[in-house]
Amino acid sequence: MTKAGKITWLKQVFNNEKTEHTPVGFWFHYAEDETEDGFKNPAIFDINIEGHKKFYAEFEPDFIKIMTDGFFVYPDDAFQKAQKAADLRDVKPIGENHPWIEKQVAFAKTLADVWSGEVLSFYNIFAPAALFRFARGNRDGVEETLAGFIDEDAEAVGYAFGVVAKDTVALVKRIINEGGADGIYYSTQDLNGGKTTEQIRRRLVQANDLTVLNAANDVSQYNILHICGYAGRRNNLMHFIDYPSQIVNWAVTVEGVSLEQGKKLFKNKPVIGGFDNTKNSVLYKGSQKEIEAETKRILAGSGARGVILGADCTVPRDIDIQRLQWVWNKT
C-alpha cells in the first residue's frame, strides 16, 4: 500500500466503512515545555517543526495530529492576568490577522509540505477553558482560580470564553482553508470544581465547543473530538454524546469506557484510541509480545470497522518509536 493509500483508510474510517488495515496514530509533544509562549521563545517553533519531520520520517504514521507547542498562550492581556472575574470583561477579540493566527497558518503550511498529500492531518485546537489555564501558566491553583471566577461571575467568564471561541473559529477556518490541514483535533474537558450547574456548563463549555466544531464542519468533513483525560482528569462522557464531530477520542483508561462501549455510547460513531498513554502502560514499557497482544485484545473488542488505534492522549515524548510500529504491524 502506498502512502497515499493511507488517506483511503482514514476516509473509510470516517465513513464507518470496512478498511483493509486499521489505521494507527500516536502523537507527543516535541518541545520540552509545550505550554511556553513561542512568541517569547521562538526556538520552540523550529523545535516543533523539526520534531514533526523526524516523527513522520521514522514512523510513517497513517495520519498526523499537528501539535501546537509554542501556541498554547492566547495573546490577550486581560485573559492572562485577570485578578477577578469582572476583569475578564476586558478581553477583546484579536482578529483573524493577529500574529498568533498568522504564525499558525504559516506553521501549518510548512508542515503540509512535509507530508505533501500523503496522509490526512488534524490540527490541534484547544477549548477556551484549556486556553485559560495555559494563558495563566497552567500552574498549580489555576483550576481553583477558574472555579472561583465562575462562582463570582459566570457571565464574565462566559463573555471571555465566547471571545476566545470566535477567534478560534477564525483560526480553524484559516488553518483548513489556507494552512493545508484536513481538519481539527478539538480538545475539551468538563469544568472541574466550583459551584458549576448544568446551565453554567452548557453556557461555558458546550456552547463554545459547538461554536468551534460547527465552524470546523463548515469547512471540513474530517474533525475529531478529544475529551481530554490527561493526568487522570475525569469527564462525564454523556455531556459530549451529541457533539457534531465525525470521530471521538476519550481516555479509555481514565474513564473505564472501552472503545467497544464508547462506540455504543456515541451512537456508533467512529472512534480513536484504546491504549493507555502513561509511562506505566504496556505501550511504554511492555515487551513486543505484550504490545502485540494488547493490540489484538483491543481490536477483538472494538472490531475493525470505524476504529483508529491510538492512545488516551499524548504519549511520553521519550517513547521508543519501535513500540508504535509493533502496534501498526498487528493491524
Using CA atoms, how far residue 232 sits from 33, 56, 104, in Å, is: 19, 28, 29
Lowest mean pLDDT among 145-149, 171-175, 192-196: 192-196
pLDDT in tens, 14-52: 999 999 999 999 999 999 999 999 999 999 999 999 999
Measured between alpha carbons, how far is 242 from 160 in angstroms, rounded to an integer? 24
**Amino acid identity, residue 173?**
K
pTM: 0.97
Say what the pLDDT of residue 196 is.
Answer: 87
User: Please, what are the domains in the chain?
Assistant: 5-329 (3.20.20.210)
Task: Calculate what percentage of the chain has a pLDDT beyond 70.
Answer: 99
List the strands of the sheet with 63-66, edge to edge: 63-66, 120-126, 183-188, 224-227, 247-250, 271-275, 307-311
The pLDDT tens digits of the residues spanning 154-166 come to 999 999 999 999 9
pLDDT (average), residues 161-189: 98
Cell numbers representing residue 109 in the block? 503550511
Q: Does pLDDT of 1 surpass 50?
A: no
Q: Taking 80 as the threshold, does the pLDDT of residue 4 lie above it?
A: no
Q: What is the average pLDDT value for the chain, to the nearest integer?
A: 96
Q: What is the DSSP letter of 24?
A: B
Q: What is the mean pLDDT of residues 278-282?
A: 97
Checking if the pLDDT of 291 tops 80, the result is: yes
